[in-house]
């Protein structure tokens, strides 16, 4: 029975490279109803169709074909820079007496073999196995990427979280040590954030956090790494940046935050932030932890001296 709630599923797409119309028609007929078959008349045609159709899940190829042979097609696929193409399931069709072709195809990275004339049941069984395997591998890869993304992203602001900041921070710190590259960090904290939450409620507080995150993203370069370290505290990792440059950027961010009016219901409120800056070399060379301590201490000083300011030196 068909579940009316589930969307119609399209058939898995198979690419068939075969110069013989007769043989192609037989294979297509065997797969009819279970798979959608794209037919390429030679290896080059197949290669182009493969590039243009990311939905293709399995390739079935003949060996002898004009312009580009099945063996050459297989080699091109296995040497592709595109993981989807490189890891494609490729089934090679040979005649029963051609052991050399099978050996060569195996060496070239064939996933499986079919003997012509192909048997309908064997063809369907093999294509099904490879198509399901390909789909499972793809799904695993997608969920691995999603888990990775969840583990490193702050769900409210979509910035990197503390964990990702620490991991990437360690990596950049090691690079700075090894190659003597500049590295600065900014630690920034929204002033009187508790008061915003208490006065306007937590949804308003969340809105302020998201806006500040937006300022951080829009004011930094693609190579910089803004992150939410927790609560109302943010960190920015700045590779290839001197302390003076980081201090300037921190101040531009401070001004941008102060200038954005937060519309919370009928209230327009002004938010300010304080920041501390520290740099590899000037403020420590032993560890990232030490740099963070220095930046934190300067942030604390900024708060003590009246907030809405950046401190980059003692
Ligand atoms: Mg042929």
Per-residue pLDDT of the chain (314 residues; tens, 9 = 90+): 445 555 556 899 999 999 999 999 999 999 999 999 999 999 999 999 999 999 999 999 999 999 999 999 999 999 999 999 999 999 999 987 788 999 999 999 999 999 998 999 999 999 999 999 999 998 998 999 999 889 999 999 999 999 999 999 999 999 999 998 999 999 999 999 999 999 988 988 999 999 999 999 999 999 999 999 999 999 999 999 999 999 999 999 999 999 988 777 787 889 999 999 999 999 988 899 999 999 999 999 999 999 999 999 97
Whether 5 is covered by a domain: the verdict is no
1 is a domain residue:
no
Q: How far is the C-alpha of 214 from the C-alpha of 211, rounded, in Å?
A: 5
Residue 115 alpha carbon to ligand 1 centre in Å: 13
Assigned domain for 18 exists: yes
What's the token pair of residue 202? 């937590």
Q: Does residue 131 belong to any structural domain of this protein?
A: yes
| Residue 232 annotated in active site | yes
Structural domain boundaries, residue 210: 162-311
240 and 141 within one domain: no
Among 36, 139, 232, 289, the active-site one is 232
For residue 258, report the distance from its CA to the centre of ligand 1, in Å.
71
107 and 211: one domain? no
Spacing, Cα 156 to ligand 1 middle (Å): 57
Q: Which of 181, 278, 258, 256 is nearest to 223 (CA)?
A: 181
Same domain for 306 and 181, yes or no, is yes
Domain identity same for 141 and 166? no
Residues 142 and 39 in one domain: yes
pLDDT of residue 8: 55
- Within 13 Å of residue 164, how many CA atoms lie on the same side as its CB? 20
pLDDT at 26: 96
Is residue 278 situated within a structural domain?
yes
101 and 174 belong to one structural domain: no
In a domain, 59, yes or no: yes
Contact (Cβ atoms closer than 8 angstroms) between residue 253 and residue 268 = no
Q: Are residues 260 and 199 in the same domain?
A: yes
Residues 107 and 37 placed together within one structural domain of the fold? yes
Q: Indicate whether 174 belongs to any domain.
A: yes
Q: For residue 62, how far is its CA from the centre of ligand 1 (angstroms)? A: 6
Strand partners, 257: none
DSSP string for the chain:
---TTSPPPPPPEEEEE-S-HHHHHHHHHHHTTT-EEEEESSHHHHHHHHHH-TTEEEEEE-SS-SSS-HHHHHHHHHT-SSHHHHT-EEEEEEETT-HHHHHHHHHHT-SEEEEESPPHHHHHHHHHHHHHHHHHHHHHHHHHHHHHHHHHB-TTT-SB-HHHHHHHHHHHHHHHHHHT--EEEEEEEETTHHHHHHHH-HHHHHHHHHHHHHHHHHHS-TTSEEEEEETTEEEEEEET--HHHHHHHHHHHHHHHHHSEEEETTEEEE--EEEEEEETTTS-SS-HHHHHHHHHHHHHHHHHTTSS-EE---
**Is residue 216 in some structural domain?**
yes
Contact 236, 292 (CB under 8 A): no
Task: Record the pTM.
Answer: 0.66
> Considering 86, 120, 150, which residue would you say is the last residue of a domain?
150
- 206 alpha carbon – ligand 1 mean position (Å): 64
Same domain (yes/no): 144, 236: no
Question: Which residue, chain included where needed, has tokens 């798979």?
Answer: 35
Q: How far is the CA of 32 from the centre of ligand 1 (A)?
A: 21
In DSSP terms, 276 is beta-bridged to 187, 311
Q: What is the pLDDT of residue 6?
A: 53
Ligand 1 mean position to 47 CA, how many Å?
16
Q: What is the CATH number of the domain that holds 272?
A: 3.30.70.270
The C-alpha atoms of residue 269 and residue 61 are separated, in whole angstroms, by 67
Domain end residue (candidates: 150, 180, 197) = 150
- Structural domain ending residue among the three candidates 87, 121, 150: 150
Residues 125 and 77 reside in one and the same domain: yes
CA of 69 to the centre of ligand 1 (A): 8
Task: Say what the pLDDT of residue 269 is.
Answer: 87
Report the CATH number at residue 124.
3.40.50.2300
Please tell me whether residues 138 and 168 are part of one structural domain: no
**Among 255, 237, 253, 242, CA closest to 313:** 242
Find the 91 Cα to ligand 1 centroid distance in Å: 14
Q: Domain check: are 36 and 146 in the same one?
A: yes
CA of 105 to the centre of ligand 1 (A): 15
- Domain total in the chain: 2
């Amino acid at each position: 029975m068909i579940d009316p709630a589930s969307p119609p599923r399209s058939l898995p797409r198979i690419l068939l490279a075969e110069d013989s119309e007769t043989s192609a028609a037989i294979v297509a007929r065997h797969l009819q109803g279970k798979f959608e078959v794209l037919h390429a008349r030679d290896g080059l045609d197949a290669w182009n169709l493969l590039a243009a159709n990311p939905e293709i899940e399995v390739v079935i190829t003949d060996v002898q074909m004009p312009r580009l042979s099945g063996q050459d097609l297989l080699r091109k696929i296995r040497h592709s820079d595109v993981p989807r193409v490189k890891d494609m399931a490729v089934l090679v069709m040979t005649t029963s007496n051609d052991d050399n072709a099978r050996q060569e195809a195996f060496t070239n990275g064939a996933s499986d073999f079919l003997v012509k004339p192909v048997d309908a049941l064997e063809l369907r069984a093999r294509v099904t196995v490879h198509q399901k395997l390909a789909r499972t591998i793809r799904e695993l890869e997608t969920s691995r990427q999603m888990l990775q993304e969840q583990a490193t992203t702050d769900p409210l602001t979509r910035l990197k979280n503390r964990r990702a900041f620490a991991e990437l921070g360690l990596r950049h710190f090691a690079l700075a040590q090894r190659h003597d590259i500049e590295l600065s960090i900014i630690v920034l904290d929204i002033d009187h954030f508790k008061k915003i939450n208490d006065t306007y409620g937590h949804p308003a507080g969340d809105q302020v956090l998201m806006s500040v995150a937006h300022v951080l993203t829009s004011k930094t370069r693609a190579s910089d790494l803004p992150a939410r370290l927790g609560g109302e505290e943010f960190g920015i990792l700045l590779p290839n940046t001197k302390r003076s440059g980081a201090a300037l950027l921190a101040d531009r961010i401070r001004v941008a935050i102060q200038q954005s009016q937060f519309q919370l219901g009928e209230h327009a409120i002004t938010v300010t932030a304080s920041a501390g800056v520290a740099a590899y070399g000037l403020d420590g060379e032993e560890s990232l932890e030490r740099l963070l301590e220095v930046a934190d201490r300067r942030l604390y000083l900024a708060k003590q001296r009246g907030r809405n300011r950046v401190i980059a030196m003692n």
